[in-house]
Structure 1
Amino acid sequence: MGLVSDGLDRAAQRAFTRPIPKSAGAQIRYLVKQLKGTRPVAELLGVSQRTVERYVKDQIRRPRADLAQRLADAVRARWQPRIREQARRQAATSTGLMIDTRARFGFTAAPGSTDDARLRHLTLALPPEHAARLFDAQDAGATEQQLRAITAEALGEVYFRDGGRRAHGLEVEFTDVEQLDFGL
């Protein structure tokens, strides 16, 4: 995954209405229920089926650090899919996205303009159409570079071109991203 894709996933996870199970046994039981058996869970986590059965019965309580991380990621990816989809749909149709980023922005514009790239910290509300483009591209399997290009275009439209009121023809470059966070 990449910075933009992970940021969109984290934003959708903030919409969860219930906390994710904390104990390894509860997480394993959730995955067994979702994947309909211990064998698929074992294959997903890279452990034996017997190990999964021991977690289900609480015979093993504390997983190794790498297994605990894989387990938490697998549960988080499957937790409350309808809530996640509802939040994404709402952002894409009515509320839009908040973006908070610190990155280097530069642009190509008419000669004589100050187009040198510089580090900026921006917190902006992206309209629903830009949120919809980002979510559609992510669902279609877009690469991180493609998602960054869509984000740069959205930031250029909202911040630099101000919705078409100024800086016509401006092409924004979005590089050296230090921090990127989305909010629904």
Structure 2
Amino acid sequence: MGDIEDALDRADREAFTREPPKTPLAQIRLLVRAEKGSTRAVAARLGVSQRTVERYLAGQRKTPQKRLADALRREVPKVWQPRVRQRRRKQAATTAGITIETRARFGYTAPIGTTDDGRVRRLTVHLPPEYARRLFDAQQQGASDQQMRGIVAEGLQEIYFKDGGRRADNLEVEFTSIDYFDVSF
């Protein structure tokens, strides 16, 4: 996963109204429910055998090894409260938009006589719903981090650098060398 996809996943987790299950048994039960009862699909998702999943469900095992614990920590939030996450994303994509906070190097292509030296900036910018919708669609379609960076760069270019069309008409912004990236909606 890239920086932007990780940030979107963190923003999804912030939407939770309750904490996800903590015990391995409850976590595996949640995953089995999400996979419509298929222990084979859960095993594939966690990278363990189907029998291991069945042992946890039967109560024969209680403490997962590090690899399984890491897989549970990674996979459980993906299926926890899907309607809450979906509602927040829909709100961001239709009315609220998203807020991006980043520290990255921004490079520019601008007309002769203006500065085009790239430099590190820290920005907190609210992007309108159209950029949120494009970003969510790109994530669902499995877009690369570079493609999602392009969407974010375009949004920052139009909203922050060009100030909605009021200045810097011919400015092109490149979004590179991300030190920090966070999204909230």
Per the TM superposition, whether the score is higher than 0.5 is yes
Give the structure-1-normalised TM-score.
0.95
SS at match of 1:142: coil
Give the structure-2-normalised TM-score.
0.94
Q: Report % sequence identity.
A: 57
Letter in 1 for 2:145: E
Structure 2, unaligned stretches of length 5 or more? none
Structure 2 counterpart of 1:60: 61
Q: Does 1:14 pair with 2:14?
A: yes
- Extract structure 1 runs of 4+ deviating beyond 3 A: none
Letter in 2 for 1:18: R
Letter in 2 for 1:111: I
Q: Does 1:172 pair with 2:173?
A: yes
Structure 2 counterpart of 1:2: 2
- Relative to structure 1, the CA distance from residue 151 to residue 42 in structure 2 (aligned partners, 3 Å threshold; closer, same or farther) is same
Q: Counterparts of 1:75-86 in structure 2 under 5 Å?
A: 75-86=76-87
Structure 2 counterpart of 1:129: 130
Distance apart, 1:62 and its partner CA: 1.5
Structure 2 counterpart of 1:26: 26
Distance apart, 1:51 and its partner CA: 1.7
Structure 1 counterpart of 2:90: 89
Letter in 2 for 1:182: V
Structure 1, unaligned stretches of length 5 or more? none
Alpha-carbon RMSD: 1.2
Structure 2 counterpart of 1:154: 155
Structure 2 counterpart of 1:38: 39
Distance apart, 1:103 and its partner CA: 0.2
Alpha-carbon distance in 2 for matches of 1:33, 1:133: 30
Distance apart, 1:124 and its partner CA: 1.1
